[in-house]
Structure 1
């Protein structure tokens, strides 16, 4: 895997072969960040990355100069790999990793708001449909904030509150909620 843009562009990191996360592909990540580059100033945003897996999304935001990135991952092996990458990429000042369950984190975070919340849960997560209300009902997004949910093509969130659009890249879809990304 590689960081596709920013001051860390081209830096590679490789999860162990027995890693169980399904990382967002480089192509899908690059497409997502091209959309975001047209609507936000990366250097002024606070990010929440839920179900972080490899940490790739957090690394992309940090590489582009994000103000702060909080990432949440409960799997010990994934969290350890992310911590190792944060150290190697010297991102300790920007990225704050939290090792806990996403729903537990959302239940206890109350004094922080984010410009962008990104969630990439396992596609087979039983509570998948609960993620959108779990995020949007807690007032975690700033006024013009964006919530982005990565999911498979078998899911449709267009009937959910604050849904704006869906983008599809192969077997990966991104549903946007909140501030509408430009076409």
Structure 2
């Protein structure tokens, strides 16, 4: 895992071999961040990273000094690894790490976010329910973007608020915006 751009650019991190999640590929990460940076301002945002795993996506936002990032994952190994990165890089209060099941977190948070990034395991089938919970609970701030990473087998185009899907190799990203 390497950081593509920003203040932590070119830093490499290697999660343990038995790590319980799959990090977003560098190719896909570079592609989606090019899209994001060309379409939206990433300055001073409140960002939520669901199923954060290695913290790979959170680190890209933090490296770009995009604002406050909350990373949520239920697996203790993932949480421990993200805290390790946070300490190694001396990152302060701008990175909040929460050990929680994502649907439980979404059901209980009182915050709204400018950008929500979700990367559930591709083989799970709750991508659409995450989008619905985010929409129904009004967790996106006005003009906010929700981005869901998924595999080819997942089609989210029928969900309310769907904008488009972009793919980079075998990685797909569906964009949503809600009124």
Short-chain TM bin: over 0.9
* Native 8 Å contact 2:127 2:148 kept in 1: no
Partner residue in 1 for 2:91: 91
- Equivalent residue for 1:149? 148
Does 2:54 match 1:54? yes
Per-residue CA shift, 1:86-142, capped at 9, x if unaligned? 1111222311000010011011112x1111000000112243331110212111101
> In 1, distance between residues paired with 2:5 and 2:176?
24
| TM value normalised by structure 2 | 0.96
TM norm structure 1: 0.94
Aligned to 1:117: 116
Range with greater deviation from structure 2 (126-135 or 78-87): 126-135
The aligned counterpart of 1:105 is 105
- Preserved contact between residue 58 and residue 69 of structure 1 (Cα < 8 Å): yes
- Structure 2 residues not aligned, in runs of 5+: none
Give 3-state SS (helix, strand or coil) of 1:68's partner. strand
The ranges of structure 1 where at least 4 consecutive aligned residues each deviate by more than 6 angstroms after the TM superposition are none
For 1:162 and 1:128, locate their aligned partners in 2 and report how far apart those are by CA, in whole Å: 14
- Count, aligned residues: 178
Q: What aligned pairs does 1:1-183 form with structure 2 within 5 A after superposition? A: 1-110=1-110, 112-178=111-177
Cα-Cα RMSD: 1.1
Q: Runs of 5+ in structure 1 lacking a partner?
A: none
Matched residue of 2:138: which SS? coil
